[in-house]
Amino acid sequence: MVSVVSSRVAAPDTPAPDPRRRGSIARGRRRLGIAYATPMAVLVAVFFVVPLGLMLWMSVNHWPLVGASAPNGVENFAALSDPLFLRAVGFTLKYTAVTTVVLGLVAFGLALLVQHDRPGSGFVRTVFFLPSAVGLASTSLLFYGLFTTDSSALNQVLGFLGLGRVDWLGSGGSALGSTVAMITWRFAGFYMLILMTGLQSIDPELYEAARIDGANRRQILWRVTLPLLRPTLALAMVLSLTGSLLAFDQFFILTGGRHDTATVVIDIYREAFLSQDLGRAAAVSVATLAVLIVLNFAQLRLIRREGR
């Protein structure tokens, strides 16, 4: 009788790494990490932390554009009760609400249109995204020509249709509508890409299951697409709200703040360079920053809660 005994070959014992060698490797990695992070930390310190500290210091000082500064406590924050500032806050909130709704709906419609990979869909996405490559100041100058000159293509089309010339920037309402249209043209492609990414991340099997259960397109949109797209919508809303609350270029170039179209940032500009009071401008900036921090913190919490 032959017995077969299976035997395992024991692996040779690997020597434990030398503690001093392990410590040397860890220190080397730590120094390498510090070397990688240092340039960015310096940039953040120079271009964000130092200006932020200077702004906080200026907000509690009488700081004329030309001349010596002197501490004055919270006196500069009286600018927050100025009628011109309150009017600017009201207009900024109205502009933010209108822009967020219009831009969100247009971008969502474009994202639904181009979310699937079909022949030519890449070209269409590129065409929709192209306006985002143009700077906002350049876009504002381009539309200023379209809105204010009789020989512009826009007014010529209206003349051809027999509608006559329209004063696009002649009143607060028309200036607001014209600016929202320009911003929608400029940013719709950018937000389309964000929303399209969210749409493409939804599992197609969920749509198939909903169709098998007899759901129509409207029910699929409300019961499947929008709930699963909520984190992406929240991210788009954070970007849209922040950009709208800090609106400056478009109204500074198109209207210069006329017809009660001055935003909060234009009011800060006026305090700093027309009234030549950097302290009051810094106080308004601090209040605006605090509002943005609270707003973005609340929306980021919403994104994290929905992502769980």
**Which tens digit of pLDDT belongs to each residue from 228-282?**
998 888 889 889 999 999 999 999 999 988 888 999 999 999 999 999 999 999 9
pLDDT at 230: 85
Cα four-point dihedral sign 36, 40, 46, 51: negative
Mean pLDDT of 209-233: 90
Neighbour tally for 57: CB within 10 Å = 14
Secondary structure of residue 277 in the 3-state scheme: strand
Residue 252 and residue 271: Cα distance in Å, rounded?
14
Residues 245-266, buried b or exposed e (16+ Cβ, 10 A)? bbbebbbbbbbebebebbbbbb
Q: Are 104 and 239 a contacting pair, CB within 8 Å? A: no
Q: Are 257 and 53 a contacting pair, CB within 8 Å? A: no
pLDDT single digits (tens) 109-140 = 999 999 888 888 899 999 999 999 999 999 99
CA angle centred on 266, ends 260 and 267, rounded to 5°? 80
Across the chain, mean pLDDT equals 87
Secondary structure of residue 156 in the 3-state scheme: helix
Higher pLDDT, 162 or 58: 58
pLDDT single digits (tens) 166-197 = 788 888 899 999 999 999 999 999 999 999 99
pLDDT reading at 72 higher than 60: yes
Mean pLDDT of 150-160: 78
Residue 56 and residue 51: Cα distance in Å, rounded?
9
The reported pTM is 0.82
> What DSSP character marks residue 9?
P
- Going from the C-alpha of 127 to that of each of 112, 134, 193, 276, the distances in angstroms are 15, 13, 12, 44
Beta strand ranges found along the chain (DSSP E): 61-62, 70-71
